[in-house]
Amino acid sequence: MSKTLVILGVLIILLGLLWPLLQKTGLGRLPGDIVIERENFRFYFPFTSSIVVSLLITLLIWLFRR
């Protein structure tokens, strides 16, 4: 369990460091992401981006367990 938490922590740190590069790929602005902007209010729900990230993480976990 501790090994898994360390790996997860390292992945989160790497994601944080690579965040500026990931924003340039368009992740978070995909069709299907919900954005509602009104005066003094902004609601953002990255629906499609969440599905894409979930699929990528599932694929990585599947490949590492093989």
| Domain boundaries along the sequence of the chain | 2-65
Average the pLDDT over 25-33 and give the result: 81
Distances (CA, A) of 51 to 10, 41, 43, 45, 47: 22, 25, 18, 12, 7
pTM of the model: 0.61
* pLDDT over 90 at 55, yes or no: yes
- pLDDT for residue 39 is more than 90: yes
Between residues 23 and 45, the one the model is more confident about: 45
Mean pLDDT over each residue of the chain, to the nearest integer: 86
pLDDT given for residue 40 in this prediction:
93
